[in-house]
Amino acid sequence: MIMSAEAIREMSKLAIVRHGDYSFTTDRLTPRGWEQIYNIGEQLKTRLKKNQVAHILTSPEKRAEESARILADILKAPVEEHELLYSDGSHPEDLDEAYKLIQALRSKADLGVVVTHMEYANSLPSFIGEKDLGISHYPREVRKGEAALIDYISKRITYLR
C-alpha cells in the first residue's frame, strides 16, 4: 500500500513570528511593518522545498492577523486564528496550551508558522527548544517583524529579520 505525502508529513521547521510594526491608533501594520513581514515571508519561502507545505496559526488581533495574511500569500498557506495566541498584560500566555496547538501542526505542514505577540515570541523558542530539541536556549528578544526559526532536524534555533 502506497501512503500519500500528507499521511507521512512531519514538520521539520517551526517559525515563531512576532507581528510587524503597527499603528497604535488603528492596530494595523505600518508600511514598515508590511516590509518586515514580507521580508520574513521571503526568507521562510526559501526554506520550503518543492512539494512542501506551510501552515499558519495566528492571534486574531489585527496586527497579527494582517501579518499572517501577508505570510499566507507568500507561502501559499492556510491560516487558522486562535485567541490563545493573543498575549498581553490582560491575556497571559499559556505555554502548555500553545505547545498543544503547535503539536497539532506536526502532521499538517513541513513548515509551521505561529504569528503572535511579544510574550509568546520571546518565550516559545526556549520552551520548545528544551521540550522538543533537548537543548537549553538562552531567550533572545524577538522584535516586531522578526522570527525565531526552530529546525527540528538540525536541532537549532536561528533568528530571522
The domain ranges of the chain are 13-160
For 91, which DSSP code?
Answer: B
pTM (2 d.p.): 0.92
Fold type of domain 13-160:
Rossmann fold (3.40.50)
130: pLDDT strictly greater than 70: yes
pLDDT above 90: percentage of residues in the chain: 81
Cell numbers representing residue 103 in the block: 503539536
Per-residue confidence at 7, pLDDT binned at 50, 70, 90? very low
Q: Taking a C-beta distance cutoff of 8 angstroms, is the pair 40, 73 a contact?
A: no
Strands, sheet with 54-58, edge to edge from the N-terminal-most edge strand: 79-81, 54-58, 111-116, 13-18, 147-151, 156-160
Q: When comparing pLDDT for 135 and 62, which is higher?
A: 62
Per-residue confidence at 1, pLDDT binned at 50, 70, 90? very low
pLDDT score, position 9: 63
Cell numbers representing residue 30 in the block: 505600518
pLDDT score, position 137: 67
Mean pLDDT for the chain?
91
- The pLDDT tens digits of the residues spanning 56-105 come to 999 999 999 999 999 999 999 999 999 999 987 778 889 999 999 999 99
